[in-house]
Structure 1
Amino acid sequence: MQERAPVRIAVLNDYDIVVAGVAAVLRPFSDRVEVVDLAAGGAERIRLDEAELDLVLYDTFGKSQGGALNIAGMTSKRIRVVVFSWNTDPALVAASLEAGAAGYVSKSATADELVSAIERIATGQRVVPDGTDGRDGFDGFNAFGRWPGDEHGLSPREAEVLALICQGLSNEEIGQRAFIGVNTVKTHIRTLYRKINVSSRTQAVVWGHAHGFQPEKD
């Protein structure tokens, strides 16, 4: 029986630590999933074609989500894009699929579950989180990969809010980007300020720029 070739994927995010963390978790499964491109550095489009790549794993940390996804701008029509996020709100999942995503995987998944989902999506199956109920699927679970600020005690959600602050977004814009309410944004800001010992947005941005919260750019 001929052994099945691994699914060839690119991991896409603007933060090198996020991309490297996902790739590291997938490395033990290289016989099933081969990471052939680490698309950090502000990459807007995967430059590999169908001969080199089967699927793009789009990590939503600090990135557009849902209906704001620009699937056509990421890759060719024949390469499937999978959204990888801790937010499994049903409306967000549905909007991502409507925007052209081939599947949606929660970051509360284990590495083996992620690999299995990638394999299924690569064969044309549509995969979405089981029991999608709108709860945060990352905070409170063992984190998948790494993110800026984890060594300073920031939760994944707090880290993303800080990343979006460093991108110059308002609280309302952060809520829209992260698909959470403005009051929730304010709560995360209060807790992350306390953890990094700052008291203003300007101080938070200065701290963030010194601790890896600026997206990598080409």
Structure 2
Amino acid sequence: MTRQRRTRIALLNDREVVTHGLRSMLEPYHERLEWVDMGPRGEVSRPVDVTLFDSFIQPEVTDQDLSRLIACPNTGRVVIYTWGMHPDLAAQMIAKGFVGFLDKSLSAAQLVESLEAVARGEVVISEPSAQREGHTLTTPEELTWPGAGFGLTARESEVLVLITKGLTNQDIAARSYLSINSVKSYIRSAYRKIGVERRSQAVRWGLENGMLPDFGVTLQA
């Protein structure tokens, strides 16, 4: 019997800690998935079947950058990988040419199944976590993010990353599909956890604690 070729995947993310966490989570499925490491500048240097585009990515990425990413022959079929399962954002990303919108709370088994479905040519959008059955959801111990070691939730960390990069509260709300009041609430809770009171202190904390990219992601044509 001919052995079926493994699905070749890559994660486009500018933080090594996130890449390491996902790779460790998927290691038990190495007979079904082949992980392709990114190049030294963050480019997808070898052809893959599926690229996960982490929504934690740099805010400077434009629609033109995304179009180049989707058109790049090395990236294969590209899906959004996110903590923010907003239906309007999912519809917008599919309209832009992405072929999936996958929730980071998916279990490893669910994520593998979704990636294989995408590789087969399907468009996959995760169901809300409350509707999933039969699998244990991914936990923070399985998939981490910058600031997790300080008790920050994924959303608090995302907000701090964007603050460190100089975005205003309004910019953060628009990018994250949150209300301005929700953004302020995340900021207050994050500030309490990292022991700061002002935005300038939060920016300094972010710079000192890895909230900026480990490398610059290259979106090649």
- TM-score of the alignment, normalized to the shorter chain, above 0.5: yes
Give the 3 Å change call, closer, same or farther, for CA 11–130 of structure 1 in structure 2.
same
**Which amino acid is 1:205 matched to?**
V
TM-score, with structure 2 as normaliser: 0.84
Corresponding residue for residue 111 of structure 1: 108
Matched residue SS, 2:90: helix
**Which amino acid is 1:4 matched to?**
Q
Corresponding residue for residue 158 of structure 1: 156
Of 91, 95, 100, the match for 1:98: 95
| CA–CA separation in structure 1 for the residues paired with 2:67 and 2:57 | 19
Percent sequence identity over aligned pairs? 35
The superposition leaves residues 5-41 of structure 1 with CA deviations (integer Å, 9 ceiling, x where unpaired) of: 1111111111121122111211221111111123685
Corresponding residue for residue 80 of structure 2: 83
Corresponding residue for residue 50 of structure 2: 55
Structure 2 gaps, min length 5: 131-136, 217-221
Cα-Cα RMSD: 2.4
User: Cα distance, 1:60 vs. partner?
Assistant: 1.1
| CA–CA separation in structure 2 for the residues paired with 1:178 and 1:26 | 27
| CA–CA separation in structure 1 for the residues paired with 2:195 and 2:54 | 28
Structure 1 gaps, min length 5: 134-139
Matched residue SS, 1:193: helix
Give the 3 Å change call, closer, same or farther, for CA 132–155 of structure 1 in structure 2.
closer
Aligned pairs for 1:17-28 within 5 A: 17-28=17-28
| CA–CA separation in structure 1 for the residues paired with 2:4 and 2:138 | 32
User: Cα distance, 1:74 vs. partner?
Assistant: 1.9
Give the 3 Å change call, closer, same or farther, for CA 141–46 of structure 1 in structure 2.
closer
Matched residue SS, 1:31: coil
TM-score, with structure 1 as normaliser: 0.86
2:204 matched to 1:206? yes
| CA–CA separation in structure 1 for the residues paired with 2:128 and 2:158 | 24
The superposition leaves residues 30-79 of structure 1 with CA deviations (integer Å, 9 ceiling, x where unpaired) of: 111111123685x3x5233xxx31110111124459x9584322254551
Matched residue SS, 1:38: coil
- Counting matched residue pairs gives 206
User: Cα distance, 1:177 vs. partner?
Assistant: 1.6
User: Is the contact made by 2:15 and 2:215 (CA closer than 8 Å) also made in structure 1?
Assistant: no
| CA–CA separation in structure 1 for the residues paired with 2:51 and 2:64 | 13
| CA–CA separation in structure 2 for the residues paired with 1:189 and 1:120 | 37
| CA–CA separation in structure 2 for the residues paired with 1:69 and 1:34 | 29
